[in-house]
Structure 1
Amino acid sequence: MEGSSILHSFTNIYFAIFALFCFKLLIKISLALLTHFYIVKGNRKEAARIAEEIYGIVPGSWADRSPLHDAAFQGRLLSLKTLIAQGFNVNLVTTDRVSALHEACLGGHVACAKVLLEHGAQVNAATIDGITPLLNACSSGSAACVSVLLHFGARAQPGGHLPSPIHEALKRGHRECMETLLAHGVDIDQEDQQHGTPLYMACTYQRTDCVKRLLELGANVNVGKRSDTPLHEAARKSSVEIVVLLTDYGANPKCRNADLKCALDLATPNSKVEQALLLREGPASLAQLCRLCIRKQLGRSCLATVPKLHLPEPLESFLLYR
């Protein structure tokens, strides 16, 4: 009898907690609907007051997507200009700190992004996940958005643990975005703790065009992710075209990673990658050694310097891998 009474008391407590939870959830949903109603009606002051008191965010922030976010994401330039003219704050953010500028860049809408920036949108605003408008532009592949953001002061190479725009561009295979970032001073051998160097990232996602361009621009062919080189990754991914490119640009096939394995050890047995690596196990030709030596001396300026040397066309083409 006593045990049954205790069980009944616990059941009542659980029901009370559950009822309280449901009541709080109902209030929150009601307030969210009320806030949205005020947005639609244009009563931004009342909406901001609710957001500040209930959601604990400062005025000018937002607890949900606003019409400004939708217009920016969908590329509706006229609607965006109208909303700004009505007094909408261009730096309104969602609970995840996503701004209208983030949305415009994710959609690749350069005209909308430019309007927002001209009206004071924060160019380096980051979401709770550290995503910046520049990262979104690189994800969408909009080189035009990347250029506009950089013109308005976006950090091309964010510090700390923020995601790297150039690595995002390479992951998606957006070569033009990558080149724009490099032209604005991004370190071509910048090593990300998670993804390695840009060249290593391009090898990971088998972006052959990007790999070739990075090598042309002077990327260090033997620097990857800690002791793992780009050649290790290309062999692991069974990408014979990239393996050939890397070795032609001087990748060392004898480099060993943390597991004491060279690229050949990672190649699938009897594969084209294994054959390509076996062919390059011996000493390089004298012509190849001379080319690598000259390119090493010229460094990253090689692509711009060689044409100025007025060499015979066949020799110039050889040095530039044309």
Structure 2
Amino acid sequence: MEDGPVFYGFKNIFITMFATFFFFKLLIKVFLALLTHFYIVKGNRKEAARIAEEIYGGISDCWADRSPLHEAAAQGRLLALKTLIAQGVNVNLVTINRVSSLHEACLGGHVACAKALLENGAHVNGVTVHGATPLFNACCSGSAACVNVLLEFGAKAQFEVHLASPIHEAVKRGHRECMEILLANNVNIDHEVPQLGTPLYVACTYQRVDCVKKLLELGASVDHGQWLDTPLHAAARQSNVEVIHLLTDYGANLKRRNAQGKSALDLAAPKSSVEQALLLREGPPALSQLCRLCVRKCLGRACHQAIHKLNLPEPLERFLLYQ
């Protein structure tokens, strides 16, 4: 009787229902995990914590159980942080995306908290799921003091290509002091990251004039950028003539072409101050071209009127007027 068709029918229905329920639950878990990641990337930690709590329950390695030590480090509350450490809280607790209390202290530029964590065994080279180290976070905040402390405790100044680069972040945000400290600790000044290029290329892209000047003074390769794109190509896409002058003063090659076969002049906005600066740097033939551009711009007016409209320095204006 037990082995009859009715028994097998109920058995198949039960298995099907169980499999459907399991699959549905798995889909919900995957969806919630993706949603958590989305909120983390967007910076909405509160919502990420709520969803993570549904997925992971009471596991301590998630945003839902972001420890009081994380909060103390992020807010720079040194006394609270030291009290928690004295109570035996693990200084290396991490969140779901592998953020430690040391990461938080460095991101906030709280050097006293960072030092206390390091003195109590915090991992100086801990890496988040996004490839960020405490040193990267210190460069992000522009805290030279945090950078120095991390290096004293053995932080690696330069990591593998796939990890976030501290010097590139410092340059991107214009934190020249952090950049100089890293360079003094044997970071390769021409270190090229595939997605970013060299530090000089990043400085030109984000128009960090102080960083551009210092990198060139310290011997950065003026033509080494991102693959075939040079720092001059990056500068030509922007509107800062001072960067153009700095690069050309240090011998940037005006004729170099990128992967699309374009020179820096080709990338400059037509009739812009950057285009004028590049034309003037190229020499007499380019000056003649500039003069022709002026005439076309003024729709047939006299050449000297066109030159006056450019508001060029007086010696250069006189030179063009007599060509």
CA-CA distance at 1:238 after TM superposition: 2.5
CA-CA distance at 1:183 after TM superposition: 0.6
How far apart in 1 are the matches of 2:232 and 2:55? 56
**Preserved CA contact (<8 Å) 1:68 1:80:** yes
Aligned to 1:174: 175
CA-CA distance at 1:218 after TM superposition: 0.9
Letter paired with 1:85: A
Letter paired with 1:196: G
Question: Is 1:152–2:153 an aligned residue pair?
Answer: yes
Aligned to 1:68: 69
Letter paired with 2:236: A
Aligned to 2:289: none
Letter paired with 2:154: G
Letter paired with 2:170: A
Regions of 4+ moved over 2 Å: 12-33, 61-64
CA-CA distance at 1:241 after TM superposition: 1.1
Aligned to 1:193: 194
Task: Please list, as runs of the form range in 1=range in 2, the aligned pairs for 1:22-101 lying within 5 A after superposition.
Answer: 29=53, 35=58, 51=60, 64-101=65-102
Aligned to 2:162: 161
**Preserved CA contact (<8 Å) 1:156 1:186:** yes
TM-score normalised over the length of structure 2: 0.71
Aligned to 1:116: 117
Distance change >3 Å, CA 84–CA 281, structure 1 → 2: same
How far apart in 1 are the matches of 2:174 and 2:268? 24
Aligned to 2:38: none
Identity %: 68
Q: How many matched pairs? A: 251
CA-CA distance at 1:282 after TM superposition: 2.2
**Preserved CA contact (<8 Å) 1:193 1:225:** yes
Distance change >3 Å, CA 96–CA 274, structure 1 → 2: same
How far apart in 1 are the matches of 2:23 and 2:195? 42
Aligned to 2:249: 248
CA-CA distance at 1:20 after TM superposition: 5.3
How far apart in 2 are the matches of 1:23 and 1:207? 46
Aligned to 1:183: 184
CA-CA distance at 1:16 after TM superposition: 5.3
Provide structure 2 residue ranges, at least 5 long, that are not aligned to the other structure. 1-12, 33-49, 285-323
How far apart in 1 are the matches of 2:283 and 2:52? 70
CA-CA distance at 1:29 after TM superposition: 4.2
Three-state SS of the structure 1 residue aligned to 2:261 is coil
TM-score normalised over the length of structure 1: 0.71
Provide structure 1 residue ranges, at least 5 long, that are not aligned to the other structure. 1-8, 36-49, 52-56, 284-322
Distance change >3 Å, CA 206–CA 23, structure 1 → 2: closer
Three-state SS of the structure 2 residue aligned to 1:124 is coil
Aligned to 2:270: 269
